[in-house]
């Protein structure tokens, strides 16, 4: 650590001429507006000193000094100087003036036409050769829109644009922003191209501003010009549509016959793609007015089929005295019909040992074999068959080391993706700028380890609507059947008196009535800077349809103490669950600069059992915490519920989950090696009152029951894969007795950190 802090004295290594920039400061006279403009104004500065590591030292300058310390040179010094290092920034007055002009231009784009900017260069408190440039900014008056006028020689276009001004981005009385003008330009372009003006483009739209209109108000004129020679724009209609498919592998006898169907000419060339599905993806209609939205939607829907590697839509303008027409030729180049892939994997997993009530990290090998069949039923459907075989070495006390791979899981799944909302064709046609699909899937899982043997069968279907930033899903009745048996006699004996084990190892039936939710991610629009990720599994309901049917049929209720069933319904002799569940995961990725990011995360889940299973929700649906992607200072599934702890405690799951995470990520070397400093907080709680003291959630005291851990990590970023190693130590452990939970108080030497740290290896970022 001492070597890092010596960077505060790096000037001793090597002298460079000129004062060195260590900080840019923005001081805005109107303090109430500082938070709106400070970061954007700072980004306009043309000389930047870089961000300090953990707010303490500039490691890149420190490394540069080491590599540039003397005239002698070596490969190691070149790495420090050229790869890890960065030349100290020497203040240039010319660049400061350029920064001032850039700031004024930015403020002008925000309506501050007459902002005043001055600057000073001052010494730091430690060394005179290090300078701080402070920009003093007085925003003055922000201009607003006071008048809006459309100037257009074409009467038809004038009437269309003028009638749409209620939808304009220019709002009288609102502050002027240049971004509004760009948005308005795009709005008018889309408006006119959706009214048949095919040849119209943005170059025919410009704006004129008059700041002398009134005090602090702008008169804005939208000018829409004609074409060269003052020719007015023409309205176009669609004449003919031709669709030709080029197969990925051309058969010997290609059918060159033209099929006239669904309003277009179809040259299938032996592709076996039924014209019905192409008609559903095509929103261009013969005889209709040209509309840009229909062209975009057609391209998007054809691309969403995932059948074609290249889609080309070529327009041809046909002009005559009576009408202006467009022919569209759509050329589709097919992807391969079959794809087969084999993927070997090195895997890790979190395993709760139910025998000795501990949790362990397991390691193993796996392989995935996947077959994809495109257009299997000739209507754009995609069939995916997936087989996965994995073998793990499960570790822990009382577990034999032979055989080494003592746990295995075999799974087979099949899914068919249909490129439309099945049974909802009218709704599907009305959805703009979205990829819609129906997915029917089923799977079989067989798992065997040193504790139990489990078989799981699931079948279900879901609808998906995927837009650029947000994706929705709705899943209708899904069925899961779980059959479990013991492979350990001690565990089997123990289950006879343990309600948790009885619920885990009973043969259970889960019938979901509905699942719905959405995912929002604006990373594509963030331009490489800050972005938001939100996943909300808003509602999951199970068991209500079956219960309603049992009530309707007046079915008898069952009581069986050997199976922990008391006055409950059964279906086909099986207990089924009834519950409601919701889970939200919010992340904010705060971009500091190209080398530094802070990520914040909050996750909250709630599940309530009732009706036919009033005390317990399925094991697979319960919440756990701890592990490589959760609270990294604690073993997987080792925290909770609440502050309850017993040496014989098996169940450490909950019905309520809360997690808070903060991670500072920084570049170490060429984006290949990255570092992280993090803190994780969280726990799970029971929602129903039970005999376990401290297990239930209490709004007035839950914050005292949160587990807290912190640590550091290093990542190898290979773009496709990110290999991660995190080391963390506990700070607050709710499993300890009251008064001893702040375990960080015991950290009196380095040995404590080593003995209490947990190391987690993972693939990808934790969140």
What is the average per-residue pLDDT within 531-536? 95
CB-based contact 600:590 (threshold 8 Å) = yes
What is the average per-residue pLDDT within 629-642? 88
Output the furthest CA–CA distance in the chain (Å, rounded): 94
What is the average per-residue pLDDT within 285-306? 93
DSSP code at position 72: -
111: left (phi over 0), alpha (psi -120 to 50) or beta: left
Pick the last residue of a domain from 281, 313, 334.
Answer: 334
Q: CATH code at 225?
A: 3.10.20.310
Q: How far apart are CA 198 and CA 284, in angstroms?
A: 14
| pLDDT greater at residue 569 or residue 691 | 569
pLDDT of residue 9: 42
Nearest to 735 by CA among 658, 590, 634: 634
Mean pLDDT of the chain: 85
CB-based contact 614:622 (threshold 8 Å) = no
Pick the last residue of a domain from 230, 263, 283.
Answer: 230
List beta partners, residue 341.
370
pLDDT of residue 5: 34
Give the DSSP H/E element, type plus range, for residue 545. Answer: helix 544-552
**Residues 612 and 731 reside in one and the same domain:** yes
**Residues 167 and 209 reside in one and the same domain:** yes
pLDDT of residue 361: 61
Pick the last residue of a domain from 319, 334, 349.
Answer: 334
The least confident of 56-65, 176-185, 249-258, 345-354 is 249-258
First to last CA, the chain: 29
The least confident of 40-54, 180-194, 578-592, 702-716 is 40-54
**Residues 185 and 263 reside in one and the same domain:** no
22 burial class (0-12, 13-18, 19+ CB within 10 angstroms)? buried
Residue 248 confidence (pLDDT) above 50: yes
Q: CATH code at 741?
A: 2.40.160.50
How far from 562 is each of 504, 558, 602, 634, CA to CA, in Å? 14, 12, 41, 35
Q: Which value, to the nearest 10 degrees, does the dihedral of the CA atoms of residues 67, 69, 74, 77 take?
A: -10
Token couple for 397: 């006390």
**Residues 60 and 121 reside in one and the same domain:** yes
Identify the band that residue 3 occupies on the pLDDT scale cut at 50, 70 and 90. very low
Full-model pTM: 0.78
The least confident of 38-42, 159-163, 284-288, 436-440 is 38-42
pLDDT of residue 291: 96
How confident is the model over 742-765, as pLDDT tens digits?
999 888 888 888 888 888 888 888
What is the average per-residue pLDDT within 349-353? 60
How confident is the model over 94-113, as pLDDT tens digits?
999 999 999 999 999 999 99
**Residues 122 and 165 reside in one and the same domain:** no
Identify the band that residue 720 occupies on the pLDDT scale cut at 50, 70 and 90. confident
pLDDT of residue 761: 83
pLDDT over 70 for what percent of the chain? 87
pLDDT of residue 17: 63
**Residues 99 and 189 reside in one and the same domain:** no
pLDDT of residue 549: 87
Residue 472 confidence (pLDDT) above 70: yes
Residue 65 confidence (pLDDT) above 90: no
Residue 4 confidence (pLDDT) above 50: no
How confident is the model over 676-704, as pLDDT tens digits?
999 999 999 999 877 788 889 989 889 99
pLDDT of residue 242: 94
**Residues 128 and 206 reside in one and the same domain:** no
Q: How far apart are CA 470 and CA 458, in angstroms?
A: 27
Residue 347 confidence (pLDDT) above 80: no
Q: Would strands 558-560 and 565-568 be described as parallel, antiparallel, or unpaired? A: antiparallel
Q: How far apart are CA 50 and CA 21, in angstroms?
A: 10
What is the average per-residue pLDDT within 176-192? 95
**Residues 110 and 155 reside in one and the same domain:** no
CA 122-101-121 angle, 5° bins: 5
Domain count within the chain: 4
Q: How far apart are CA 543 and CA 333, in angstroms?
A: 47
Identify the band that residue 407 occupies on the pLDDT scale cut at 50, 70 and 90. confident
**Residues 99 and 199 reside in one and the same domain:** no
pLDDT of residue 329: 95
Identify the band that residue 10 occupies on the pLDDT scale cut at 50, 70 and 90. very low
Residue 57 sits in which domain range? 2-138
């Amino acid at each position: 650590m001492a070597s890092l802090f010596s960077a505060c004295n790096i000037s001793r290594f090597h002298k460079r001429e000129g004062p060195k920039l260590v900080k840019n400061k923005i001081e805005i006279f109107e303090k109430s507006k500082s938070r709106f403009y400070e970061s954007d104004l700072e980004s306009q500065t043309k000389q930047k000193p870089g961000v300090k590591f953990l707010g303490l030292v500039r490691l890149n300058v420190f490394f540069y000094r080491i590599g540039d310390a003397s005239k002698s040179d070596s490969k190691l010094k070149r790495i420090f100087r050229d790869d890890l290092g960065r030349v100290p920034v020497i203040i240039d007055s010319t660049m400061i003036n350029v920064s001032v002009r850039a700031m004024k231009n930015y403020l002008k784009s925000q309506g501050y036409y007459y902002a005043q900017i001055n600057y000073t260069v001052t010494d730091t408190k430690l060394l005179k050769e290090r300078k701080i440039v402070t920009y003093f900014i007085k925003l003055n008056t922000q201009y607003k829109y006071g008048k809006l006028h459309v100037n257009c020689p074409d009467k038809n276009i004038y009437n269309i644009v003028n009638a749409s001004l209620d939808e304009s981005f220019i709002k009288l009385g609102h502050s002027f922003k240049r971004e509004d003008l760009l948005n308005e330009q795009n709005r008018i372009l889309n408006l006119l191209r959706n009214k048949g003006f095919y040849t119209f483009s943005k170059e025919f739209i410009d704006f004129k501003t008059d700041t002398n209109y009134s005090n602090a108000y702008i008169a804005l004129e939208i000018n829409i010009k004609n074409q060269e020679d003052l020719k007015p724009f023409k309205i176009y209609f669609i004449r003919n549509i031709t669709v030709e498919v080029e197969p990925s592998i051309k058969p010997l006898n290609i059918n060159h016959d033209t099929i006239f169907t669904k309003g277009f000419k179809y040259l299938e060339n032996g592709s076996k793609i039924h014209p019905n599905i192409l008609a559903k993806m095509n929103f261009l209609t013969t005889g209709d007015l040209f509309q840009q939205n229909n062209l975009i939607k057609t391209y998007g829907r054809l691309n969403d089929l995932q059948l074609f590697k290249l889609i080309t839509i070529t327009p041809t303008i046909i002009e005559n005295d009576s009408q202006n027409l467009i022919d569209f030729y759509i050329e589709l180049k097919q992807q391969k019909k079959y794809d087969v892939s084999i993927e070997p994997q090195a895997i890790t997993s979190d395993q709760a040992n139910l025998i000795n009530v501990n949790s362990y990290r397991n390691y193993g090998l796996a392989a995935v074999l996947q077959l994809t069949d495109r257009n299997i039923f000739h209507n754009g459907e995609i069939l995916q068959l997936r087989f996965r075989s994995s073998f793990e070495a499960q570790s822990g006390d009382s577990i034999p080391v032979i055989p080494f791979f003592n746990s295995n899981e075999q799974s087979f799944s099949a899914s068919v993706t249909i490129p439309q909302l099945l049974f909802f064709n009218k709704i599907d046609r009305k959805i703009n700028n979205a990829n819609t699909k129906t997915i029917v899937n089923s799977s079989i899982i067989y798992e065997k380890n040193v504790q139990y043997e489990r078989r799981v069968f699931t079948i279900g279907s879901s609808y998906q609507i995927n837009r650029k930033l947000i994706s929705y899903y709705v899943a209708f009745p899904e069925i899961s059947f779980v059959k479990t048996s013991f492979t350990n006699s001690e565990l089997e004996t123990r289950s006879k008196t343990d309600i948790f084990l009885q619920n885990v190892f009973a043969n259970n039936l889960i019938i979901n009535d509905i699942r719905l939710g959405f995912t929002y991610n604006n990373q594509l629009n963030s331009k490489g800077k800050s972005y938001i990720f939100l996943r909300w599994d808003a509602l999951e309901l199970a068991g209500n349809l079956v219960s309603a049917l049992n009530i309707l049929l007046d079915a008898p209720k069952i009581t069986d103490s050997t199976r922990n069933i008391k006055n409950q319904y059964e279906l086909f002799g099986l207990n089924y669950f009834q519950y409601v569940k919701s889970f939200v995961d919010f992340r904010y990725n705060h971009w500091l600069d190209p080398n530094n990011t802070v990520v914040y995360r909050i996750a909250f889940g709630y599940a309530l059992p009732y009706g036919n299973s009033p005390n317990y929700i399925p094991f697979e649906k319960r919440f756990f915490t701890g592990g490589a992607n959760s609270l990294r200072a604690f073993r997987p599934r080792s925290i909770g519920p609440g502050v309850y702890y017993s040496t014989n405690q098996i169940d450490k799951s909950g019905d309520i989950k809360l997690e808070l995470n903060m991670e500072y990520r920084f570049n170490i070397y060429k984006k290949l090696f990255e570092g992280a400093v993090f803190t994780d907080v969280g726990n799970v709680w029971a929602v129903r009152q039970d005999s376990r003291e401290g297990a239930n959630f209490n709004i007035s005291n839950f914050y005292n029951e949160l587990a807290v851990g912190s640590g550091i990590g290093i990542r190898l970023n290979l773009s496709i894969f990110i290999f991660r190693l995190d080391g963390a130590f506990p700070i607050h452990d709710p499993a300890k007795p009251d008064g001893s939970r702040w375990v960080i108080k015991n950290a009196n030497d380095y040995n404590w950190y080593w003995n209490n740290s947990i190391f987690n290896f993972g693939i990808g970022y934790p969140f």
